[in-house]
Chains A and B, each alone.
Chain A
Amino acid sequence: MTAVGSAGFRHLSSTSVCRVTLQTKSGTEKPSSPWTLMAAVCLQRLPVISADCSPIEQQFRQMMQRMELEKSLLSDHELRLLEDSERISRKQADDYDSDEEENRGDQEIVLAQDLEDSWEQKLQKFQPGLRVNVCVKSSRHSGEGVRARSVPADAPLSCLADADEDLTSLERCLADPLVLVAEQQVGGDKLWLLPQTRWQEGETLRQTAERALASLPAAGLKATFLGNAPCGVYKYKLPKAARTESAVGTKVFFFKAILSDGGAPAAPSASLLWAKKSELQRYLKPAYMMKVERFVLAL
């Protein structure tokens, strides 16, 4: 009984403290929080082509096609094929009705098989875009296991390079969603992270994120921001030596955006990368990565 009573008392006291803090916040003197606010943008290029089927998907697709064919009725084109083949076999046999032939003599007999052949030829003439950009494999420093502190050697190569390997190209890995990663100066170090910038008074966090995107060296990246609410947060405290009363650490709020078409392809620069979710681990720090991978959906 006494334990319950004391717990209840504690609960009441905590809520009263909360109310007090809220009131002081709404008062004219706003105590500035010790956290620096920053907004970052998680810009994604959604997949352009459909992904390849896994083995079970391929098997299932073939089976479904066969089943559907078996359960279907004959189409007009197939009936026409059957009729034509029958007519030819009748003509070749010696007993055929000359009347029937005369009726159709003045019409041009276009066999259904001829139509099929002409369609096949037309298809051969058309060259669709290639699903995989064919390449000459380049020898390149892969950067595995290297902490993303130094500038990676993934410099853009000539156009013969494997477009999938060129991390700065937007045309790589057309079947997967890509995330934009930039190398920025944070504190004293250059780190790989999602493009971020500091929040200023008088603007919403979403506007800060838009400013972060606009301030990147790559011009012409048009994006649609998905809503006003942040999708994730990462907070870190400054090392004890640098901590002061008003600067304990930073909170970075992430905003999601989708790259929209129509932007002119920007000149590739060394500090911007388009990475798949599996490659993000190479560039982002582990604690940061843990927070980011939750909202980057790569299904």
Chain B
Amino acid sequence: MSWALSRCLCRVLSRQSPPSSFLLAEHHRAVQSLWFAPMRTLKISTPLRAEPKKKKKVDPRREQMLKERMRKKLRKLEKVAPELIPIEDLITPAKFLDETRERSAPRLSFEDSEGRALLLKEWCRYKQEQHMAEVQAVELALEAQREALDELKLESEELYQAALKPDPLMFPFTHKGPVYTPPKSKYEAPDGKYNDITKVYTQ
């Protein structure tokens, strides 16, 4: 019922004349009243037909674009690779390029140079023998260990597994190597003050 009513109302409203003629009629009456009777109130309706204000969407976008460009430039500048820390050992200090420092090289006699060459060859042979002996000794030791582990495996599995586990307490392991003269018992080393002037670089 209500739906039929509303549809009737719609049809009625649509059959009405277009609003412009309606307004014109009103205007006509208003103009008539202006000329003939003093105006009491100036009725100015809100401008309904003016062009809508331009929101200037481009401005915030432009600002954003500018900001992004600035940020990109900053990032490019920061991307420069960090300066490498100089290795001081590899840089020859300038004072050693002085010519006055050169030592006069002595002339070697023929026998001397021959003797040196032969000694170098002998040394080469000696070192090679030493190296082969070391390698063999290490291989023997490894062989002995492998044998021991095989025997242990035949004995008991759990002992074998326990033997294979790495020892976490062993490292760090330090041992002071051989020195030229043995340490003196009850030796009082003199106190020494030193200033550490090593250069520390930060990247």
Q: A: which residues have CB within 8 A of B?
A: 22, 25-26, 33, 35, 37, 46-51, 56-57, 59-60, 63, 67, 70, 72-74, 79, 128-131, 174-175, 204-206, 224-233, 235, 251, 253-254, 258, 260-261, 291, 294-295, 297, 299
Contacts and interface: CB of A to CB of B under 8 A. Distances in A.
A48 B103 CA distance: 39
Cβ-closest 3 pairs across A and B: A233-B148, A128-B181, A294-B144
Contacts of B140: 294-295
B119 interface: yes
Contacts of B122: 56
Given A79-B100, A226-B170, 16 more contacts: A37-B155, A50-B180, A60-B119, A72-B103, A73-B96, A73-B102, A74-B100, A131-B181, A229-B164, A230-B163, A232-B145, A232-B147, A232-B148, A233-B144, A294-B143, A295-B141
A253 B152 contact: yes
B134 interface: yes
A56 B126 contact: yes
A73 B92 CA distance: 13
Contacts of B82: none
B194 interface: no
Contact of A128 (B103, B148, B184): B184
A60 B178 CA distance: 21
B118 to A, nearest CB: 11
Contacts of A50: 178-180
Contacts of A253: 148, 151-152
B181 A49 contact: yes
A74 B163 contact: no
B152 A205 contact: yes
Interface in B111-160: 116, 119, 122-123, 126, 133-134, 137-138, 140-141, 143-145, 147-149, 151-152, 154-157, 159
8 contacts: A33-B154, A35-B155, A48-B179, A128-B184, A129-B182, A228-B166, A229-B164, A261-B176
A3 B199 CA distance: 77
Given A60-B123, A74-B102, A295 B145 contact: yes
Most A-side CB within 10 Å, residue of B102, B156, B184: B156
B101 A231 contact: no
Given A230-B152, A231-B145, A26 B157 contact: yes
A204 B148 CA distance: 15
Contacts of A205: 152, 159, 162-163
Nearest to A224: B173
Contacts of B178: 46-51, 175
A206 B123 CA distance: 43
A129 B145 contact: no
Interface string B172-203: 01011011111110000000000000000000
B59 interface: no
Nearest to A226: B170
A224 B171 CA distance: 11
A35 B123 CA distance: 50
Nearest to A32: B156
Contacts of B57: none
Contacts of B156: 25, 33
Interface in B25-44: none
Nearest to B149: A229
